[in-house]
Structure 1
């Protein structure tokens, strides 16, 4: 998320490549066979649109305590229902949310909305504070948790529930989050403490109750379930790294807890009803002094810090460390400053406490959130569970969202027990399945096969790795990137969200884009090959975008052993492209104007309809359309066809690349469902159990507004959602919308 990739769009300080290992890139492993693959089976047509209206707030309250979650029932197909029967939405540059005719989209929860009855209404003029009791910024991944009429946990409620959602980041201009501050905020160091306090508090997670009254949804301002988890909240460490010396800090000398969660992006929903959130591009929030290598005197932590993006002299994204001497600011400076041997008198190890999958119980405030260290430390996106089968181990699929990083899988030691779906203690159940198991990284082969390589001390490739000497399994978990380097994992092009097809268990990964690819590469560029076959120039206005700016989606099928398999097959599911792209190197999936898209990011299968929803976070195609969401009906791994691309080389001749393109989508298998406001990313998706209400997040509308134009709303690139009638002021706000079908049917039919 939040990762501009072309010269037109501003550079995100977290969009970095820290992988200097010699491992093969995904673009070098596929010069052989890859069986023909398929894409999507469903419908498409010409476009008509419906512009949404806003819904106000509801002030209700609930003091009910939740009970156990009952298992999610297997959805029963509706025979007369046709999937993707809606009319496709056209591309749009309007500052609106656009959905198909027959649908309505309404705003229900936006940045700054109060989460209790004592926090004032949001003025949206930069004067607001108390953000630890308000909705955070940059709404991202999100899950729905049902509540019964009496306030107990249930999987069957479609009119009352909790939304647990991530608040990834904030809209930046230089150092400050300028829309949060009356005058736009400081642009030089030191930063004022009052500004920093706001910016820290808008990060993290929120849990908010939502209810449907009649046909209208609203959030419940005074619900006792509402809460925030911020970068200042106490969070327990669990799994193999708990108590390890690499996590010792002044805040937690025993290395059993850490402070807060940061840059939360994708999510996951466990089979036992807990919420999982991924800490993504967190390293850029920390500063490291220019003489820190010498201070650490050759310690192996230097190699770890470099691998995770904090070389000596690295500056921080917001300058939070400069706000004062208070410990809550000091922790953002990870330089070695103390004299202790273990780091108990400073924050040299603070960054080792970030980069995990965090689990929390959305229903129960009394249960501390836990960082599940067994799942590894890296730039986590979502956490997708394989389909649970009684008596078999559980798998959790994850990606590391940075250039040239890896795809991971965690397999639990415990086998799935059906009774755990309704366990009364959800966090204890998480201990059972997420604290003990095996962590794997993927190696993809040229013939369409692949291996899951275990990251364990028993693997001699790890224990003999020259660049970093691992001490134990905790060290491997904390430095999973280095362990993956050691075993020769396959470098990938920004593994974003992943999702599991409930129909067959196949795993889908969004690989957003790669602007660093060329037919005639420089030393820093990659050559196109079978799995990444496109290298072309795409014009955005007068600016050239080179490489593969449109991205693609990978899918994988486990081999023998199901979730615990150590082998798999894979193919490319779908290539993003502009429908009118010239030549044979770009639109390899033959997308039409009603289907074309760029930079897939959010990715989720509906557990109720089986539709695959694809969301974009794009900078390459935004001269033609704002970011969007599409609906697809997928096929299976291995149902495509071989295509040979003959790329012309600058010095004559061609670079021949064989690739395997999925069965082209028809008007019945892929459709654009939604287009968002100007400057926004479409992200986060969940549904009510009846499939009739869908919640979507609109992140950072107006993100390219210049800070100098803060005083003139007419110069904002977006005024959404105020231009749709929601809330005070005209400064753009990230927000959650709810989509319903006017005839009361299921979404996507």
Structure 2
């Protein structure tokens, strides 16, 4: 791809590092509202802080480097070869050819280009509006319709899954599934400055652009670029009118019943789907995150403060104009039917996707599965909100390899826990400690005094407040390393945390740049109820002495901010995508690799950067390590941008409008 120009466009970032347009549509300006969690539970930063001041002595040698000041936008070249790592590190980070790339330099946030390392190229696989079904028309920006959008690829894409056919790592066909998290109304239509300007038809198009997209993909040979197949047998769009089943203990509860569904067992649509995971039995999980912003609360009553605790306090996105279920005053229980983990079988386009109430209801970033030693399925989950919690679900039944019918029931019943972290002080020179999974529901019994099982699962946030977990800094993707079994949680940032609220597990307040925590379950068994933990990354400008890169020399690493999604390669290296760097460091968001073992543990280097206004999401490392997939979400999402004032032309297909989509990066 030819390099793109630097665009003279400056956007005022909100407190969380995102542009004002992102904050409006991604999360309903969450950082501008009071933090929903006003419980007295301990902050993770308070756990970490007890060690930080004493540990700063160990960093005395970094003071001189810090005097250089805050990192500028032109002072970094490509990451140089590593100097000698700490002597405690033995061996070298393993990995295939992909891990040996030469890291790129940070990219200015105003660059309209997808930058990849030397020796690599990139190409789009599928973009917003591309036809999915046989009857779908080609995309026409100025001639959109509801029916077309229901058969075309959805809008902003986040979590991405590539499921190959057959058993080989180098398969030539498979299924690509990805979330369509939210829409940018003023980038989708001309003459629109906000949701209030949308016509009824445009509102329905916006609603249809949410959900998920599933398409078949093929390539000529292993390592060759993928192409999606229009009209593939397994192709499917899930949107605002798709029927979902509700299962688990809360299915049929009065709080889930509406005038359209008096049974409380089926829901139309899935909203604000963020991250997710692929189960060992081949299904896709998706988390309903910032669903609160779609509901108009005008005139709604909130005697039990359920709406307040879930941040459901706005006038919505105008959807109630065409569908009254999005008015809380009109249909008070509809909001309780969102905020769940969704499971979809990507191999069967006729199957009914399921919302699993056993996994609790909150702003689910996503869910990823690791099997316990006894075969039970364990789901790790983060509630992406300032000062909210990390959760774990353990299934009652055990996984049966090859038995899909049985395995599809694993997430329907089980035990739900929430994490409490304790720091162990600074004597070991590490940000670390121990933790316990506090029970919420076990063996079909509520462990929250005065609450039923169903109440715990529907209003999980308020139930968790009562048992004393640790407040975290926006826990997003939580995923187990397939090589070591250790679990890694991305904590993006927390503009609301104050200096007096820090702890060893959340060591900065405000936490502008975020961090990554490593959790080691007792005996490395996912079914354990106690764990050890350690921070492996405290993000930011490496010249800042408060940053930490698993003990590696900070002079030899890339700057990074706002870790969001994580994945792993076959050597167990951690790959991190970011969301918010333009507003915190002045650089484009991107994808990074962090070795976790050997002499190069902590040597962070950047693999790619995404275009102006975009966020890097849903990284997938192919099994043969020849290809990396990422979702390029909200390109050109800069305040003041419009179809007549275009900030990004990604994916540079000649139609002169930004179109979010999935891209592949491969060796030339």
TM-score, normalised relative to structure 1: 0.75
Instruction: Give CA deviations for 1:29-65 in whole Å, capped at 9, x if unaligned.
Output: 34556999xxxxxxxx97399xxxxxxxxxxxxxxxx
Match of 2:120 among 75, 100, 103: 103
2:408 equivalent to 1:430:
yes
Q: Secondary structure at the match of 1:530?
A: coil
Partner of 1:208: 215
In 2, Cα distance between equivalents of 1:622 and 1:237: 40
2:624 equivalent to 1:736:
no
Please report how far the alpha carbon of residue 394 of structure 1 lies from its aligned counterpart in structure 2 after TM superposition: 2.2
Partner of 2:631: 697
- Spell out the pairing of 1:451-462 with structure 2 (5 A cutoff): 451-456=436-441
In 2, Cα distance between equivalents of 1:681 and 1:79: 28
Partner of 1:476: 456
In 2, Cα distance between equivalents of 1:596 and 1:565: 35
Please report how far the alpha carbon of residue 705 of structure 1 lies from its aligned counterpart in structure 2 after TM superposition: 4.3
Partner of 1:633: 595
Partner of 1:412: 395
Match of 1:613 among 575, 599, 609: 575
Instruction: Give CA deviations for 1:107-128 in whole Å, capped at 9, x if unaligned.
Output: 1100111112332211234645
In 1, Cα distance between equivalents of 2:114 and 2:434: 41
Instruction: Give CA deviations for 1:43-97 in whole Å, capped at 9, x if unaligned.
Output: xx97399xxxxxxxxxxxxxxxxxxxxxxxxxxxx99956632111111122111
Cα RMSD of the aligned pairs, angstroms, is 3.0
Do 2:158 and 2:618's aligned partners in 1 also have CA atoms closer than 8 Å? yes
| CA 48–530 in structure 1, closer or farther in 2 if over 3 Å, else same | closer
Larger radius of gyration: 1
Partner of 2:505: 531
| CA 518–48 in structure 1, closer or farther in 2 if over 3 Å, else same | closer
- Spell out the pairing of 1:138-287 with structure 2 (5 A cutoff): 138-148=156-166, 156=169, 158-171=171-184, 177-184=185-192, 188=196, 191-213=198-220, 215-287=224-296
Instruction: Give CA deviations for 1:522-548 in whole Å, capped at 9, x if unaligned.
Output: xxxx5434333335xxxxxxxxxxx32
2:604 equivalent to 1:591:
no
| CA 92–593 in structure 1, closer or farther in 2 if over 3 Å, else same | farther
Match of 2:135 among 83, 107, 118: 118
How many residues were matched structurally?
601
- Spell out the pairing of 1:69-84 with structure 2 (5 A cutoff): 81=96, 84=99
Please report how far the alpha carbon of residue 621 of structure 1 lies from its aligned counterpart in structure 2 after TM superposition: 5.0
Q: Secondary structure at the match of 2:393?
A: strand
- Spell out the pairing of 1:640-679 with structure 2 (5 A cutoff): 669-679=603-613
In 1, Cα distance between equivalents of 2:436 and 2:220: 50
Match of 1:330 among 324, 342, 347: 324
Partner of 1:70: none
Please report how far the alpha carbon of residue 222 of structure 1 lies from its aligned counterpart in structure 2 after TM superposition: 2.0
- Spell out the pairing of 1:388-399 with structure 2 (5 A cutoff): 389=373, 391-399=374-382
Instruction: Give CA deviations for 1:651-676 in whole Å, capped at 9, x if unaligned.
Output: xxxxxxxxxxxx9856xx42111111
Q: Secondary structure at the match of 1:613?
A: strand
Partner of 1:563: 526
Do 2:448 and 2:467's aligned partners in 1 also have CA atoms closer than 8 Å? no
Please report how far the alpha carbon of residue 439 of structure 1 lies from its aligned counterpart in structure 2 after TM superposition: 0.2
Partner of 2:78: 47
Higher share of residues assigned helix: 2
| CA 721–4 in structure 1, closer or farther in 2 if over 3 Å, else same | farther
Match of 2:19 among 9, 12, 27: 9
Please report how far the alpha carbon of residue 569 of structure 1 lies from its aligned counterpart in structure 2 after TM superposition: 1.0
Partner of 2:318: 319
| CA 687–29 in structure 1, closer or farther in 2 if over 3 Å, else same | closer
Match of 2:386 among 396, 400, 403: 403
Match of 1:305 among 304, 307, 320: 307
Do 2:47 and 2:502's aligned partners in 1 also have CA atoms closer than 8 Å? no
Q: Secondary structure at the match of 1:100?
A: coil
Do 2:440 and 2:446's aligned partners in 1 also have CA atoms closer than 8 Å? no
Instruction: Give CA deviations for 1:169-225 in whole Å, capped at 9, x if unaligned.
Output: 112xxxxx0122233366537x42111111001100010111112533211112121
In 2, Cα distance between equivalents of 1:455 and 1:133: 41
In 1, Cα distance between equivalents of 2:543 and 2:145: 46
Please report how far the alpha carbon of residue 730 of structure 1 lies from its aligned counterpart in structure 2 after TM superposition: 1.2
Q: Secondary structure at the match of 2:366?
A: strand
Please report how far the alpha carbon of residue 28 of structure 1 lies from its aligned counterpart in structure 2 after TM superposition: 1.8
Do 1:6 and 1:620's aligned partners in 2 also have CA atoms closer than 8 Å? no
Partner of 1:67: none
In 2, Cα distance between equivalents of 1:271 and 1:587: 33
Partner of 1:718: 648
Do 1:126 and 1:183's aligned partners in 2 also have CA atoms closer than 8 Å? no
In 1, Cα distance between equivalents of 2:637 and 2:397: 45
